[in-house]
């Protein structure tokens, strides 16, 4: 049996952006995310995930992993149609044995050998989960079940390796998601196998060995792998309930910030962990993946610390690496950056890695950058074990969900221009009277928080970074 998480995510489309956040998503839609296939052939008609003969590894799945939630959050039918092309092709590609995806795997960055590579499928699994939550598409559960039945039959002969081994938690997320909906026992058995094949991030983060600038690339020091790997102990906690996993996460974050921390909330990584000097870079892929990891750790552990990190990274590191109109980006950003130019720097990447463009250095960030703002939006609010509401962040939005044991329809409207102003207004309306808890995250930087209800100040205590209020 799975261990219960502190919170549960709301399905995609339950939270709709408003105010500055909606404007930001609209800018994103008008820029790269809405038009990337027109400018970059790697995600155009020739992509292997659309049936073409072009790039067929991670770039297509990366792109749609941000395109799809953006499309549904904005209710943009043109973008939804673009995202659905990838969904429909993937569904139609499923073979009788359950496998799906391009028959021939090609990548512009490396040779793909004949051994099974599970990594790029993991990204498309996350896309399918979001699509099902947004649309209720009844084909997704059987599709995923059939695929994981196949994986279960071959995973020990064709184990995780390389990227998939270090990023196995991405597959575990989908296995757990599917088990909670189907309760099929083989999924838990598969989860145990995948967990055993995944890099032991719990041990790495618990007793962190990388306490100085790393001098060469390694699977466990590559900054994107680290940003993704930090949630692995949390996902394992969901499987086992072992409290050591929680300790590993906190110790890992402490170590990363002590030995590689940067002012914008990220740790350095101009390809690998690179120490605390502010001239070292941080890869954009790591920024959006670290945000997603914090969203998942919030869901699993319910600790306000992860919301603090999520906001710091989202409001500092994310916008710094992308042009205001979303028509260019950096591969590596620097916190002391005074100029963007082609020049040698004390990092492993090419001299153009910090210039703004379509594809500076590697194109992975061109494909992967799109998930940052949409996934932040879809995780602004969650629900606790009592079907109470949880405010993770206070960016302007409207939430439509149900609350309490009776499932009373509720609408939450958040205004106040947070984080640009430190006063937030929350208007809650219920279809009929109900009693349920409301948990409000109190940012660690907030020294004197005040909560008022209809003008009356409420007493509260903060536990694990949240003020929990219950009105009978």
pLDDT tens across 98-121, in order?
999 998 777 655 544 557 999 999
Structural tokens at position 143? 């599709």
Q: Which residues of 11-22 are buried (b: 16+ CB within 10 A; e: fewer)?
A: bbbbbbbebebb
Element (H, E) at 190: helix 185-197
> Closest by alpha carbon to 221, among 291, 143, 173, 286?
286
- Helices then strands, each counted (H, E), the chain: 18, 14
Q: What SS3 state is found at 31?
A: coil
CATH fold for the domain made of 7-383? Glycosyltransferase (1.50.10)
Residue count (the chain):
472
| Other residues' Cβ atoms within 10 Å of the Cβ of residue 353 | 24
How do beta strands 389-391 and 437-441 pair? parallel
Please give the Cα distance from 165 to 197 (Å, whole number). Answer: 6
| Other residues' Cβ atoms within 10 Å of the Cβ of residue 261 | 17
Distances (CA, A) of 340 to 161, 325, 345, 353, 410: 36, 17, 11, 9, 48
Main-chain dihedrals φ then ψ at residue 395, nearest 5 degrees: -60, 150
Please give the Cα distance from 79 to 70 (Å, whole number). Answer: 8
Please give the Cα distance from 129 to 141 (Å, whole number). Answer: 9
> Closest by alpha carbon to 63, among 37, 89, 88, 92?
37
- Digits of tens for pLDDT over the chain (472 positions)? 899 999 999 999 999 999 999 999 999 999 999 999 999 999 999 999 999 999 999 999 999 999 999 999 999 999 999 999 999 999 999 999 999 999 877 765 554 455 799 999 999 999 999 999 999 999 999 999 999 999 999 999 999 999 999 999 999 999 999 999 999 999 999 999 999 999 999 999 999 999 998 888 899 999 999 999 999 999 999 999 999 999 999 999 999 999 999 999 999 999 999 999 999 999 999 999 999 999 999 999 999 999 999 999 999 999 999 999 999 999 999 999 989 999 999 998 999 999 999 999 999 999 999 999 999 999 999 999 999 999 999 999 999 999 998 999 999 999 999 999 999 999 999 999 999 999 999 999 999 999 999 999 999 999 999 999 986 6
Domain boundaries, the chain: 7-383, 384-470
pTM for the complete prediction?
Answer: 0.97
Please give the Cα distance from 322 to 298 (Å, whole number). Answer: 26
């Amino acid at each position: 049996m799975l261990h219960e998480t502190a919170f549960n995510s709301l399905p995609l489309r339950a939270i709709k952006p408003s105010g500055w956040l909606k404007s930001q998503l609209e800018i994103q839609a008008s820029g790269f995310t809405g038009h990337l296939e027109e400018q970059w052939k790697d995600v155009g008609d020739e992509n292997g995930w659309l049936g073409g003969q072009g790039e067929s590894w991670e770039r297509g799945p990366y792109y749609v992993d941000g395109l799809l939630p953006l499309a549904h959050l904005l209710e943009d039918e043109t973008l939804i149609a673009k995202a659905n092309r990838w969904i429909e092709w993937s569904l139609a590609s499923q073979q009788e044995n359950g496998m799906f995806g391009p028959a021939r795997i090609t990548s512009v960055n490396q040779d793909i050998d004949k051994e099974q590579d599970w990594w790029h499928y993991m990204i498309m699994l996350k896309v399918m989960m979001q699509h099902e939550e947004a649309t209720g598409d009844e084909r997704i559960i059987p599709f995923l079940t059939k695929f994981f039945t196949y994986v279960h039959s071959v995973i020990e002969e064709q184990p995780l390796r390389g990227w998939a081994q270090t990023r196995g938690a991405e597959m575990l997320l989908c296995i757990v998601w599917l088990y909670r909906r189907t309760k099929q026992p083989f999924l838990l058995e598969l989860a145990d196998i995948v967990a055993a094949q995944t890099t032991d991030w719990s041990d790495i983060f618990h007793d962190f060995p990388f306490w100085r600038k790393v001098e060469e690339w390694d699977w466990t020091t590559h900054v994107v792998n680290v940003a993704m790997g930090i949630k692995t102990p949390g996902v394992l906690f969901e499987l086992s309930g072992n409290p050591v996993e929680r300790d590993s996460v906190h110790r890992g974050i402490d170590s990363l910030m002590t030995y590689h921390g940067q002012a914008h909330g990220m740790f350095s990584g101009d390809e690998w962990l690179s120490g605390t000097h502010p001239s070292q870079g941080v890869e954009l892929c790591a920024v959006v993946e670290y945000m997603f990891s914090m969203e998942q750790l919030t869901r699993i552990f319910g600790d306000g610390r992860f919301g603090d990190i999520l906001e710091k990274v989202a409001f500092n590191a994310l916008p710094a690496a992308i042009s205001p109109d979303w028509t260019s980006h950096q591969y590596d950003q620097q916190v002391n950056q005074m100029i963007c130019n082609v020049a040698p720097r004390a990092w492993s990447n090419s001299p153009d890695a910090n210039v703004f463009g379509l594809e500076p250095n590697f194109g992975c960030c061109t494909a992967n950058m799109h998930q940052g703002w949409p996934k932040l939006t879809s995780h602004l609010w969650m629900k606790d074990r009592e079907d109470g509401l949880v405010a993770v962040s206070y960016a302007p939005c409207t939430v439509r969900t149900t609350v309490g044991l009776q499932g009373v329809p509720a609408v939450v409207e958040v205004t106040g221009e947070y984080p640009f102003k430190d006063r937030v207004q929350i208007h809650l309306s219920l279809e009929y009277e109900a009693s349920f808890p409301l948990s409000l995250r109190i940012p660690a930087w907030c020294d004197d928080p005040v909560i008022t209800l209809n003008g009356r100040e409420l007493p509260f205590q903060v536990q694990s970074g949240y003020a929990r209020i219950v009105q009978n």
